[in-house]
Chain A
Amino acid sequence: MAEPRVRDALNRALADAMAADERVVLLGEDIAGFGGSFGVTKGLLDRFGPERVRDTPISEAIIAGAAVGAAMSGLRPVVEIMFMDFVTLAMDAIVNQAAKAHFMFGGQCSVPMVVRLPHGGGISAGPQHSQCLEAWFAHIPGLKVVCPATVGDSYSLMRAAIDDPDPVIFIENKALYALKGDMPDPPAAVAIGEAAVARGGRDVTIVTYGACLGHALDAAKALASAGIELEVIDLRSILPWDEAAVLRSLQRTHRLIVYHEAVEAFGPGAEIAARMADIGFDELDAPILRVGSPFAPAAFSKEIDSAFFPSSARLIEAVRRILA
């Protein structure tokens, strides 16, 4: 078989979870017959039937809300919201209902649901089809937020998310769906909240996730020839995030850059930087830097879209600054 892509890994994880547990059901717009806007659910209708692979109306609020009620009543729903931007229409279910149920009802029930949200720009999809809104969800106690960047992690984190007793926001990067990579056999178990060291290095720690992982590794390769060794941490989970892994890396490199596609201001990097400035202050040889998208909506124009993307060149520039 050809080397699998991220979308194949997600598809296989959904299929394996559905085969293993009949409580797992899929809900979303055009996920059944059409196989999903990004092809992630292709073939699942034929294999598992229309009761468990359900095409929904274009009604994000009821899709997410019904998933909450279904999870409270014993199912394990996995919801696809076609683009992360459309989740604005489903926020009550996620924020006011799903996130709070376990706490608010005194532990009488949990809400084991997964909300799949494709995020990210770079495809000229424009201001309402490109956003990286993960910081919103990471700000809500009761949710978990993951964002895999590799084929193997896409599989493993999807299985972990479906098995999890809590509501999980599962962020998929649109630019990564076609990315090829290794699929370990048997698949590795990855716990939510566990980062991975994607590349070891002694000089600067880069904490990243999603599409920026590849760009960070490109930057590391480019800088290695100049004798600068980046350590790249793939966060994989944004809530909870692997504070210990980041701190361990900081203890080796003493320099930290947080790098993500989400808008830099008030982004996930702000929390990571603040926390490391607090618990890792004595380790720091330079101020923590952040590299993210500028404070502007994404744009349709290819020129603007790519200019706004936090490229590896911008990361390299930040590395030079932090080492200066």
Chain B
Amino acid sequence: MRKQKAESGPDTAQLPRWLDFHRSMHIIRQVESRLATLFADGEIPGFIHLSIGQEASAVGVCAALELADTIASTHRGHGHAVAKGMALDRFFLEILGKDEGACRGRSGSMHIADMGVGMLGANGIVGGGLPLAIGSALAHKLKGNGAVAVACFGDGAMAEGILHEALNIASLWKLPVLFVCDNNGWSEFSATKDVISLDLPQLARAFGIASRHLRGDDVVAVAEAAGQLVDAIRGDGAPRLIELHTRRIRGHFEGDAQRYRHDDAADREDPLVNHESRLLRAGVTPERLAEIAEAARGEVEAALQIARAGRAACAVGALDAVYAQRGAARYG
């Protein structure tokens, strides 16, 4: 499918896939919109980092992946978890801190993981997922299973030494890794251009890694580029990099008043609106689009209700879970 030309205008063969993108992006948008209100209402404690505005990246990249492929995400990882195939009830149960959650309420939003779908975790450390993807790619390579590991990072992580180490070793060892940068222009609360002296094309070139750099507001273009890169990785085993220029519509975290914010990335569109325009041009009716969005809302709401009915996570059992070897070390 993805080998076909995506930007060749209205193309009925592409339509089911395009509608699927529409649906997936709406699911993620709805999931995160609900997280925003749940956080504001005090139903979720801690930190929530939303990827609203960056949905095309998660959906487009994951469209190129198979179940056996792995992805190591960032603190802004809800989209990656859902796009990689994590069940919504499992997702919400975790984020609401329930015992039935994927991580039994111990990870919450910032570390959410679902090994069954190859989601190796969001990560509370900037750049923290990069070496995990490198190691996962090494495992894929040694097992010869043909799988690819995806190393997600934001532009803020360009300043972390671990990115440079990861690019070097991936190139040197020819590891099947796709580096994915969601470049939203912000390193948490600082404009990235004020804190980083190079750009990603330079960096990828320095390490001899073939790369693509494109707008991240067009899911079809992202899926096309990611598909080509993943195919290339599966072909020769060497790493590739894709940089997606996106817009972080919300703050660094929920509750961020964003007084530091100026009118950045105004040229980057909302990927949902962008894609809807494409679908309308392709002859899909507004009613059909609304219907899909509404179904997505219903699906998210149903999962949320299941999660709300879950059991609260339990501290007693948690003490026994520090080690895989049961009872390995208990103090106090």
Contact = CB atoms under 8 A, between A and B. Distances in A.
B329 A144 contact: yes
Across chains A and B, which 8 residue pairs bring their CB atoms closest together, nearest first?
A: A65-B131, A69-B135, A110-B324, A106-B104, A240-B329, A73-B139, A69-B132, A70-B135
A69 B321 contact: no
A72 B120 contact: yes
Interface string B134-160: 111111101100000100000000000
Interface centre among B105, B136, B149, B318 (most CB of A within 10 A): B136
A96 B131 contact: no
Nearest to B318: A103
Interface residues of A, number: 47
B14 interface: no
Interface of B: 70, 72, 94, 101-107, 111, 113-116, 120-121, 123-125, 128, 130-140, 142-143, 149, 161-162, 165-166, 168-169, 172-173, 318, 321-325, 328-329
A18 to B, nearest CB: 12
A155 B14 CA distance: 60
Contacts of A72: 115, 120, 132, 135-136
Nearest to B121: A105
B135 A104 contact: no
Contacts of B124: 96
A106 B93 CA distance: 12
Contacts of B173: 54
Nearest to B111: A104
A166 B124 CA distance: 21
Contact of A69 (B102, B114, B115, B139): B139
Interface string A46-72: 000001101011010110111111111
A105 B142 contact: no
A103 B104 CA distance: 9
Contact of B134 (A66, A104, A142, A164): A66
A246 to B, nearest CB: 14
Interface string A74-93: 11010000000000000011
Given A70-B135, A74-B143, 16 more contacts: A25-B138, A72-B115, A73-B136, A75-B139, A75-B142, A92-B125, A105-B106, A105-B115, A106-B105, A108-B115, A109-B115, A141-B329, A142-B322, A144-B328, A165-B324, A193-B329
A142 B94 CA distance: 21
A107 interface: yes
Interface centre among A92, A93, A106, A144 (most CB of B within 10 A): A106
B75 to A, nearest CB: 12
B107 A102 contact: no
Contact of B322 (A54, A97, A103): A103
B171 to A, nearest CB: 11
B107 to A, nearest CB: 5
Contact of A57 (B107, B120, B168, B323): B168
Contacts of A112: 324
A80 B325 CA distance: 23
A68 B162 CA distance: 14
Contact of B325 (A61, A66, A109, A164): A164
Contact of B172 (A57, A73, A240): A57
Given A92-B128, A107-B324, A66 B138 contact: yes
A176 interface: no
A239 interface: yes
Given A61-B131, A66-B138, A166 B106 contact: no
A220 B166 CA distance: 51
B128 A59 contact: no
28 contacts: A25-B138, A52-B142, A61-B162, A62-B162, A62-B165, A65-B134, A65-B135, A66-B131, A66-B138, A66-B169, A69-B139, A70-B135, A75-B138, A75-B139, A96-B124, A101-B121, A103-B318, A104-B106, A105-B103, A106-B105, A108-B103, A109-B115, A112-B324, A144-B323, A165-B324, A192-B328, A193-B328, A240-B329
